[in-house]
Amino acid sequence: MNYLKIKLCLLCLLLSLNFLLAQKKVLIAYSKNDKSILAFDESGQLKWTNSSEALLKPNNLGFIQNHSSRTSLNIHDYAFGKLPVSFGGVWMLEDYEGDFALLPSEVRFVSNVAKDIYLAGMKPERGIGFVYKYLDGDGNYLYDATVFSVAGSFENGKTVVKKSQDDSWLILDISGETKDVFADSIHWKTKWMSQLKDGYILAKSLKQNSNHRYAFDLLDVEGNWICNLNAVIRENAINPQIIEIKDSIGMLKVNNSFFVFDLNGELLHEYSTEDIFSELNYLGTNGTDHLIGSKYGSILLDSNFEVKEQLAEEGQTMQYLVLNPMGYVQNIFHKNPQKETNVLVVNGQKITETDNDIFAVLPKLYIEGTDLNGFFPKYIRNLKNEILYEFK
C-alpha cells in the first residue's frame, strides 16, 4: 500500500512538473500598429510588452512557419533556455520570472541553440562580418572562449564549426570535445559545410584533376564520407540546404529547386518552377508529408517525397500557406466574385474561413491580421474563434 502511495505521489509530481514546463512557452509577436513587441502565454494572455527598441532573438526550437518573410512570429520555450533580449544595444538573457543575466559588451546578437546554451555573434578584430562564441545561461563563455567563423545550433548534442584561428572544420560535442571532419582528405580543401540535419552534413570542397571544380559530398555525424552528390547538385549551387534525410532517402533545396536523392548519390526526383521569377519554397511538414510551393500553387509530397497532391485548380488557386503538426492554412482565390479567403484547418477540422490573413497555428490559438507591407496583427483567437486579445 505504501509503495502504491509513493508511486501515486511521484506520478502527481511528474504531472505537476510537466504542467509547469508546458506553461513556459511564450508567443513573441511584433506589432507595427502600436510599435511594440508582445509576449503571450499559450492561453493567449499577454505576459509582457516592450517598446520597439527592444530587439528579440527567439530560439530556433519552435519557429512558427508562415507564408510571408515579413511577419515576425516565434515561440520561445523557457524550459529550453532563457530569452535573449536587447535594450539599447546591451544584450541580456531573461528568465521566465523576468530576471536578467548581463552579457559581455562585445556581443552584437544572441540565439538560444541548445538547452541553456547560447550562440553570441560579435565583430571580428579585423575584417567584416561576424565571428561567434558559445555562452552559458549566466553569460559566461564556453569552450575556452574559442572564436569560430562558422557555428550553429546543436543537433543531438553535436554541431559543425569552423575555427577562426586556423580555418579547421570540426564537429563540436556539447561537452566541448571536438572531432576533425574528414572532407579535406577526400578532396583538396573544404570551402563550406552545412549544419547537421538528421545526422548528416553536406560539404563543398575543391577538387583536383577533375572535370568538376567543386565536389559536393554527404558526410555522417562522425565526419565519415557517405556519397558524392554531384549528380544531384549543380556546380554553381550556393549553400544547398538539407530538408530531410530519412530511410535512405533525402531531399535538398538548391537555389529555387528541390532534389530527391538516395544515399548512393542518385537523383530520384526534381521539383522546380517553370517561372524563373518565382522561387519554390519549403512550406513545412506535419511530421509525415512535406509541402513545397510558390505564388502559383503548392505541391504536397508524401514521406518518400513523391507527389501526393497538386494544390492548384483551373480558375482557382488553392495554396497551403502553413503546414505543421497542429494544422494548416489554405489560401483560396474565388473567381466569382473575385476575392481571397483563408481557411484554417486543425486536426482535420475546419476552424474558420476569413478575409484576414492567418499567421500562426498553435495548439490552442492562432493569430489573425493583415500583411500589407508589414505585419499588422488584429486578434489572437482560440480554436472556438473567441477573441482572447485585440491589438490596438
Give, for all 392 residues of the chain, the pLDDT tens digit.
443 333 333 333 333 333 333 457 777 766 555 556 677 777 777 776 664 334 443 333 233 333 333 345 667 788 888 888 877 778 889 887 778 899 999 999 898 899 999 999 999 988 888 999 999 999 999 999 999 999 999 999 999 999 999 888 999 999 999 988 877 777 778 889 999 999 999 999 887 666 668 889 999 998 889 999 999 998 778 889 999 999 999 999 988 889 999 999 999 999 987 655 567 888 788 788 888 887 667 788 999 999 988 766 544 455 565 666 667 777 776 766 777 788 888 877 888 888 888 876 667 788 888 766 555 778 888 888 898 888 77
Peptide bond into 337 cis (omega under 30): yes
Q: Tell me: the pLDDT tens digits for 166-210?
A: 888 999 999 999 988 877 777 778 889 999 999 999 999 887 666
Closest CA to 25 of 73, 119, 96, 90: 96
Determine the Cα–Cα distance for residues 282 and 191; give it in Å rounded to an integer.
25
Quick check: pTM over 0.85?
A: no
Strand ranges of the sheet holding 131-136, from the earlier edge strand across to the other edge: 109-114, 117-122, 131-136, 148-150, 158-163, 169-173, 178-180
- The alpha carbon of 231 is separated from its chain's Cα centroid by a whole number of angstroms, namely 28
- In DSSP terms, which residues pair with 388 in a beta bridge? none
CB 80 within 8 A of CB 26: no
Q: Tell me: the pLDDT tens digits for 231-245?
A: 999 877 888 999 999
Q: CA-CA distances (angstroms) from residue 260 to 203, 220, 268, 309?
A: 17, 18, 5, 17
Helix and strand totals (H; E) in the chain = 2, 36
Determine the Cα–Cα distance for residues 89 and 190; give it in Å rounded to an integer.
35
How high is the pLDDT of residue 94?
A: 85
Determine the Cα–Cα distance for residues 36 and 19; give it in Å rounded to an integer.
29
What the block records as the C-alpha cell of 260 is 530527391
CB 83 within 8 A of CB 91: no
∠ CA 359-28-24 to the nearest 5 degrees?
120
Determine the Cα–Cα distance for residues 183 and 215; give it in Å rounded to an integer.
10
Strand ranges of the sheet holding 249-254, from the earlier edge strand across to the other edge: 241-246, 249-254, 257-262, 267-271
How high is the pLDDT of residue 46?
A: 72
How high is the pLDDT of residue 45?
A: 73
Helix (H) or strand (E) holding 12: helix 2-22
Strand ranges of the sheet holding 62-63, from the earlier edge strand across to the other edge: 46-51, 36-41, 25-31, 73-77, 62-63
3-state secondary structure of 369: strand
**Which residue bears the cell 561576424?**
130
